[in-house]
A and B are shown apart, each in its own frame.
Chain A
Amino acid sequence: MPTIHDQIDEVLAAAVHNELTDDERRALHVHLVECAECRALHKEEQLMNKALGEIFTDEKPDFGFEKRMLYAFRRKAPPRASVAVFLVNLMRSRVTQLAAAAILLLALFEMGRFLTGEEMSIPFFRESRLASPPMAMNGQAAATDLVTSGGASFFPDKQGDAFVEAGRKSDTERDHNQAQEAVRSKSELGSAASVQAYRAKEGSPATTDDKRGTPLTSGQPAALLARASSNVPVTSASAATNAEEIGPSPSASAQRGPANRKLIRNARVDLEVRNFEEAVQQIGGFASEARGYIATSSSDKQENGKLRGEVVVKVLPENLDDFLEKLRGVGDLKNQIIGTDDVTKQYLDTDARLKNAQAMEQRLLEVLKRKSDDINDLLAVEKELGRVREQIEQMQGELKFMDTQAQFATVTIALAEKDMDVPAGFLLKERAQLALYAQDVEKSYNQIKALASPKIQITNATLDRDNAGRVSARISMLIAPEESDAVIAKVKALGRVDKFQLQTERVARGGQGMSEDAKTERDKVQLNVTIAREEQEAPLQQTTLRVRASSVSERAKELRNLAEKQNGRVRASSFARDPNGREFANVSLRVPMKNYGSLMQSLGALGKLENVSVHREERPDAQIDEANAPADISIQVYSQGKIVPDNTGVIATLRRTLAQGAAALMWSVQLIGVALAFLLPWLLPIALIIWGARLISRARASKRAR
């Protein structure tokens, strides 16, 4: 417990500042009475207190000090926008901080996914958002396009009159057709403008064949036609008023419906009739009623005597619907397809190109007339002229073709007589597959080929020899039905039969289903033979055994002799010696089953038999010639060798230990590499996080220190 004397500085200061408790004050007084040193200090402290009071009295801030501070603050820190305040407050809230942390984690996660190559999940969203606006824009652009082309680029009246003139000259019947087309397209597209155009056509025969007039693009003819139709009564109106009339008018901008389209109509009808000839006559009658004709007609007699055929009829497009209606009376309607091909754009394009080519031709002709002296120039011009004319002819041909196509609708009528489907007869088809194993493939192959005769035809024969010397053969033959059994038996005798398969199929002729009076005939028998070498046959029985002997190579030789005595063959043999001096000879033999027993007995003479195991494949269903079926025997002859191997002892152990140590070291280096590769992408975010955390903790620490 410190005494007052020890703490005199503190106590004295507190005393002059009136901060002592009553007890402390009493204790101090008691102490001061008895301690002269502290008494002196107390005196000094009081003087000190007084002096300090003096120096500070004059320094008190004046009366308006707070106000000054307040104004200064308002000047230096004006109120900020509420958004900023809101953001600052937001940053302060725990929820926001948690959310920010979550977002950071999510960002890291996504970055990880991105780095590891997994797919992000945005594309669908982005595509669906992008999909609609361009479409809307297209429509809009097209509409404005139409308006501008209708308003701005409309030709002056003079030109318009020229068109009217041209129209007067044009073929009236064709105009009629076009009008009909317009009606049809009206019904298809429901466009008000096409009605208008149609009425205009009906009202004045002087409608323009305007597509011939100018090289226009596909969007324009409709507007052009609308302009022409509205313009017929007011030929004297100025181009400007025309533009005003046409431009904003809803019919011009809204209509995309063509009044003057090139439409190719065609139909396909499948009919079932009682009599083919009658039906064709009837169709001919209907065709001429519809101002058409039969273009082609074909028929085909089926095996059961029924007729099937196709008739192509050309009728005027406006009569097509009537005609199809009438066709239903000819027979039972099985199927009907009606299609329309719009070739307007193609037609206008070709037409425009034709105009250009014709202009070119004119220019070339003028060049020729100028009579240049240079022969080369003349030749070049001539050549070019020839090319241009060729083009012109080609395009005119195309136009003409399209005209005729559009002029007539094509109706393809497929006719079939009833009761087509009853079969006229049956055919019995036999196919046989035969797989053989033969001792000598090539010999058997030649023997089979030698069977060829008018009744036995070999359709295909191949002999394969691969680079390992294995031979296989495939033969396909057609055999007359009466010979087939004999031939198949003959072929079977040529080797060991592995597989034989006979397939019989009854095929109906001229239809499907049952027929009471149909005859059944036997067709030629198709025989496919594959021949493989006996070696490739799977053995019926497999035996493995080991023989321990002192002299391996001699024993192996004896083994071969034994096998040959028993009519067996050595399929494979190998010889090996390991570092410890052990010798191994592996011999694989194949003998016929009938000699198997005696061979096994004779093997006992070689040495002690070990590890004998026999594996037999039972094929209960198969009828095989068991006596001649192959049996395989694998024999390993080995010697004991040295007992103590080289790889023991201190040095070897040391070497092994070192090698294993090195391997373990390499493995861990590899793992460290993998870990680094995994961690590197994370280093940046982790560094950022650590940096932020340190900033925060430093700020906190310094605050605490203050």
Chain B
Amino acid sequence: MDSADRDMFRAAIHGDREAFEMIIRTMSRPLFAIAFGILQNREEAEDVVQDAFVKAWKSRWRVREPEKLQGWISTIARHRAYDILRRRRTVPLDEQLQEFAAAGNGSESPDDERHRQVRSALATLPELYRSAVALRYLQNMDYATIEQTLGLSNGALRGILGRALASMRKRLKPALAAMI
């Protein structure tokens, strides 16, 4: 993180709205990716991003070190997304099954079928993994930036993405074989 960024974060923490809006400009897409990775739903993800910024602004004074602001905001977004996800899971099983059935039947192309499978495999991953995958594929971020955005330590992402992809690979083995 360069010093200009750090100054911007510090100013934002100290209540400078312009600095904070700058942060919103730069961080809203990564945050969207994080939320989308977890929720797989654009509208909900957008809501999460909005809420996360508002919440971060209101309680910005809790952050002591400017370096941690980014990680902290993305943590807020992740938690918010979990909350929504958890609430969604309490929807009765019947509805989910119906949805699933609706999604599964009918005439869909092999591509759609594969995408659906990939998505459901993605949904089985832990939330942090999903966020990391989304940041990588949605934002095309390099590992270092992702680590910084998620507030992870250096080199941790390699393991996370490795495990995430491996897990999906195993789950999707037949579908992948069909792709060849």
Contacts and interface: CB of A to CB of B under 8 A. Distances in A.
Contacts of A454: none
A125 interface: no
Interface in B40-64: 42, 46, 49-50, 53-54, 57-58, 61-62
Most-contacted residue by chain A among B71, B143, B175, B176 (CB, 10 A): B176
A701 to B, nearest CB: 13
Interface residues of A, number: 45
Nearest to B166: A9
A77 B172 contact: no
Given A19-B143, A45-B165, A89-B15, A70 B21 contact: yes
Interface stretch (B1-9, B89-97, B99-107, B134-142): B134-142
A379 interface: no
Interface string A1-30: 000000101111110110100000000000
Contacts of A7: 162
B14 A77 contact: no
A353 to B, nearest CB: 76
B53 A69 contact: yes
Interface residues of B, number: 54
B159 interface: yes
A68 B36 contact: no
A94 to B, nearest CB: 11
B172 A13 contact: no
Interface string B154-165: 000011011111
Contacts of B142: 19
Interface stretch (A55-63, A156-164, A264-272): A55-63
B159 A77 contact: no
Contacts of B42: 59, 61
B162 A77 contact: no
B127 to A, nearest CB: 12
Interface in A73-89: 73, 76-77, 79, 85, 88-89
A664 to B, nearest CB: 53
B118 interface: yes
Contacts of B36: 59
Nearest to B142: A19
A85 B20 CA distance: 14
Interface string B14-33: 11010001001100110010
Contacts, number: 133
A70 B172 CA distance: 39
A72 B50 contact: yes
B88 interface: no
Nearest to B138: A56
A706 B53 CA distance: 17
A454 B27 CA distance: 129
Given A14-B162, A51-B172, A89-B15, A59 B50 contact: no
Contacts of B115: 51, 54-55
Nearest to B41: A59
Interface string A85-107: 10011011000000000000000
A706 B72 contact: yes
Given A44-B169, A59-B42, A69-B49, A77 B143 contact: no
A706 to B, nearest CB: 4
Contacts of B114: 51
State the main secondary structure of chain B at its contact with A. helix
B24 to A, nearest CB: 5
Contacts of A61: 28-29, 32, 42, 46
B21 to A, nearest CB: 6
A19 B50 CA distance: 32
Contacts of B151: 706
Nearest to A92: B61
A129 interface: no
B87 interface: no
A7 B162 CA distance: 9
Contact of B24 (A14, A47, A73, A85): A73
Contacts of B134: 56
B159 to A, nearest CB: 6
B168 interface: yes
Contacts of A69: 24, 28, 46, 49-50, 53
Interface in A31-76: 41, 43-45, 47-56, 59-61, 65-66, 68-70, 72-73, 76
A434 B175 CA distance: 137
Contacts of B61: 88, 91-92
Contact of A13 (B21, B165, B180): B165
Contacts of A703: 62, 72
Interface string A203-238: 000000000000000000000000000000000000
A52 B57 CA distance: 33
A19 B118 contact: no
Nearest to B68: A703
Given A13-B158, A51-B179, A73-B53, A92 B14 contact: yes
B25 A70 contact: yes
Given A10-B163, A51-B172, A59-B138, 20 more contacts: A7-B162, A9-B165, A13-B161, A13-B165, A19-B142, A19-B158, A41-B169, A44-B176, A47-B176, A47-B180, A48-B176, A51-B118, A52-B122, A54-B111, A56-B137, A66-B29, A68-B46, A72-B53, A89-B15, A703-B72
27 contacts: A9-B162, A10-B161, A10-B163, A11-B162, A12-B162, A14-B162, A44-B173, A47-B176, A48-B168, A48-B169, A49-B165, A51-B118, A51-B175, A52-B122, A52-B137, A53-B137, A56-B137, A61-B28, A61-B32, A65-B29, A69-B28, A70-B21, A77-B53, A77-B54, A77-B58, A88-B15, A91-B61
Interface of A: 7, 9-14, 16-17, 19, 41, 43-45, 47-56, 59-61, 65-66, 68-70, 72-73, 76-77, 79, 85, 88-89, 91-92, 699, 703, 706
